[in-house]
A and B are shown apart, each in its own frame.
Chain A
Amino acid sequence: MDKDEFRASFFEECEELLEAMHDGFDQMATQKHDEETMHAVFRAVHSIKGGAGAFGLNELVAFAHHFETALDRVRSGKLELDAGLLDLFRHCGDNLTDLVSAARDGDTPVSGTPALRAKLDKVLGADGLAESEPDEPDFEPVTLDFGDLGLSTENTSGLTMLFHAEPGLFVCGSEPAVLFRAMEKLGSFAVEADLSKVPSFDDLDPASCAITWTLTTSDDVSRDDVAMVFEFVEDQCTLDFVSISNTDGPELSDIGISDDLADIPEEFLPSAADLSEPHAGSGPVAAMPGLDDQNEPTASVQESDQVPNKESEAKGNAGGGGTIRVDLEKIDKLINLVGELVIKEAMLAQSISDLGASSESDISVGFESLKSLAGEIQEGVMSIRAQPVKPMFQRMARIVREASAATGKKVRFVTHGEYTEVDKTVVERLVDPLTHMIRNAVDHGLEKGAARAAAGKLPEGTVTLSAAHRSGRVVIDVSDDGGGINRERVRAKAVERGLISASDTLSPPEIDSLLFLPGFSSAEEVSELSGRGVGLDVVRSEIHKLGGRVSIHSDPGEGTTFSISLPLTLAVLEGMVINVAGQTMVVPISAIQETLQPRSTAIHDIGSGGRVVRNRDLLIPVIDVGAFFGFRAEPVDLNPHVLLLIESDDNHRYALVVDEIQDQRQVVIKSLETNYHQVDGIAAATILGDGRIALIIDPDNIVRGSGAKLTGDLNLQMAV
């Protein structure tokens, strides 16, 4: 591991620690916390401080130290944790998060630090100030690598271990003598250096250490204690226990690497919680090892409870807790290959059907099992990229706090389904739209305190963020229990902005959808918080770019819910394969509302070359896909064609004319931009069963692209 890798792993660890910290605060807020919650938070902050010190991130260290001092007061019972203090802690936590990301990205320091430090100082009082001079961190943030367990039983009452320093130990500025001195503090301790392997001066490699030390401790020293001392040099040394203390941990019946690991709390293992599984947040991450001696006994008791099940997990993989860290690029490459596999499979399917083989023939049966295997591989590979939405939800909790502070509204933030897994890219790209929606919910959704009281609601508003898998998609809901959408006002605003005309009759859902129109901002006064010119239309187009859809449901007096429905992955799309003007194209299923036979519907010419189709009392503009792409002239007779009803970005329906629907299937998304450029009306490309490329249509883009021709139709549609 070089320094950059260390740095990267430190920041990864920070993410987890911060998550654990926020979790702790959440628990404290629910009053269901116990002493351990406070310890966990303290340890998280402390570990961040320790690591930051090793990397010379002084600002981070200074703040973390202050924060930690305050936490310690609460932990040791010198300070009472009340709502105000918890609030301050949360702000400090947010600030710590900012400092960590500022340190990681090399950004300018966070501005909120001095103010929060002042507040912390106030809480701590005068003596706190004296104490809170940041002490020099004297440790390195790494984990322990315990070697094989020896079999010697000559010293059953104490611990004997062989310590060998790797070159990395010195590179990182650690020093065995410091470690030994730390060991000395644990209890009676002896160290003996084995100089036998030290080469002659000529052969000496100055960068490596040829000395092996034998360390012996008295029986009152536990392995956890030793682990603590060596915690920060784990990767840079080997530490082999040559005898086991009976006073600590379960009796080991069988000596081997897995048992060896089992005895060590999981968090000491390398990268224990990297790529953490959903459940990881509650266990090991929350219990990151503290460095404070007085705290540790409590923690060890807790951890040793986990030992039995850890044992089975550790078996068979000497890594950490069954997770490994993998380069994203490798996964993406795998996903690409799986994409190829899906394409080849489709090709093979075509050849087999061309052969006319019966479904019982060996080749068909073999192909079917191949197909199901490929499907499983695809699912498995996709799931590697999947991440729980929890970290994103935690970020939203912060947005709620900030929005609540800015608006002066009291808000309770509730999350459901935070372990729902979504593609990493989707999660990342959802942050901005969700932030906007959450702010909206607090700023515009919830009523002011007085209005809530008048409506007989609790003074504290509730904003709920939930995620769930539903029929192959992920649905994320943002709801508030506010007053619902003020349709009168929305309508008036839309008329004022010229989005609709005063005489239009709109159904309630149609009015709600007006919020998504570009340039619409419903708050009476543009507040500092939301309404900075970025409207819900941006949110909507962001979500559309991810292949998702967003809808509103609002009940007057009850609240508003925004539902985002997203595909599980960005690599594969469920599409309808169509023919138009001799070209094979794909239309995303998510866009298609229904398909129509023009024969059975009434088509009207509306002059100026436009046509509309009547469907459920709506007149829907007709767009010929072939003509749009310049493949053909607009057909005169639509009867032999098929109409695909799609709903556009602005909630209006359009009918796309295509010639024939071939199939509905999963297609692998291939970028057109890599070697070419963006094409109007085309979202991406895919490869069909015959190996040829088919273009994936972007229906919204077609609607916008042909917008000039259809101006005026919008009102026509609404007036009917």
Chain B
Amino acid sequence: MNMEDQALEITKTYLEVVAFRVANQDFCFDLKSVREIRGWTETTILPHAQPYVKGVINLRGSVVPVVDLSERLGLGATDPGPRHVIIITVLGSQTVGLLAELVSDILTVAETDIQPIPDMIDETVRKFISGVLVIEDRMIRKMELSTILGSDIG
């Protein structure tokens, strides 16, 4: 990573993002929001919660809700298994776990590489993303955490 950093042009602002997969689509968001990534653990169901709130887990003594990203993005509910991951994110004072299929990469991208959302993206996903990155042959959607963890979560 260090070597790579040095090779970067100084004139551009760079961003580190964590890339992950939800319902066979690639997403990413700012690495700074990620506190840790852990495997799936059974959650305790929260009554009267939104369907995409999978429940709460114990994160070293804190009660942290887990959001099923797939369900949240309108891509169908996930049936979580041991291969799934929970990305623990911090937004403001809130800690929330996001359920994803896998975490693929941590990427350093220039902000200028983020392109506007193309028309081909689903209408439901569109409102949660702020742009796309094209890396090799993959299209990675940049997710806006604040819309994911909107007021109906916290």
Q: What residues of chain A have their CB less than 8 Å away from a CB belonging to chain B?
A: 336, 339-340, 343, 583-584, 628-631, 670-672, 674-677, 679-682, 685, 687, 691-695
Contacts and interface: CB of A to CB of B under 8 A. Distances in A.
Contacts of B57: 693
B46 interface: yes
A670 B94 contact: no
B64 A675 contact: yes
A465 to B, nearest CB: 38
B49 to A, nearest CB: 7
Contacts of B153: 676-677
A695 B46 CA distance: 8
A670 B48 CA distance: 19
A319 B5 CA distance: 53
Given A680-B48, A692-B44, A693-B44, A675 B63 contact: yes
A110 B132 CA distance: 62
Given A676-B154, A695-B44, 11 more contacts: A583-B44, A628-B47, A629-B47, A631-B47, A670-B63, A671-B63, A676-B46, A687-B58, A687-B61, A692-B58, A695-B46
B56 A681 contact: no
B154 A685 contact: no
Contact of A679 (B46, B58, B95, B96): B46
Interface residues on B, range: 20 to 34
Nearest to A336: B61
A421 B63 CA distance: 30
B122 interface: no
B35 to A, nearest CB: 12
A346 to B, nearest CB: 12
Contacts of B61: 336, 339-340, 343, 670, 687
Contacts of B95: 674-675
Interface of B: 42-49, 53, 56-58, 60-65, 93-96, 153-154
A682 B45 CA distance: 12
30 contacts: A336-B61, A339-B61, A340-B61, A583-B44, A584-B44, A630-B47, A670-B62, A670-B63, A672-B56, A672-B63, A674-B63, A675-B62, A675-B154, A676-B53, A676-B153, A676-B154, A679-B47, A680-B47, A681-B48, A682-B47, A685-B56, A685-B63, A687-B61, A691-B58, A692-B42, A692-B44, A693-B56, A693-B63, A695-B44, A695-B46
A631 B46 CA distance: 10
Contacts of B62: 670, 674-675
A168 to B, nearest CB: 37
Contacts of B93: 674
Given A675-B94, A676-B56, A691-B58, A629 B48 contact: yes
A679 B53 CA distance: 13
A620 B94 CA distance: 41
Contacts of B48: 629-630, 679-681
Contacts of A340: 60-61
Nearest to A694: B44
A630 B56 CA distance: 17
A694 B46 CA distance: 10
Contacts of B154: 675-677
A677 B93 CA distance: 13
Nearest to A672: B63
A385 B76 CA distance: 49
Nearest to B96: A675
A631 B43 CA distance: 14
A629 B62 CA distance: 22
Contact of B63 (A583, A584, A629, A676): A676
A695 B64 CA distance: 13
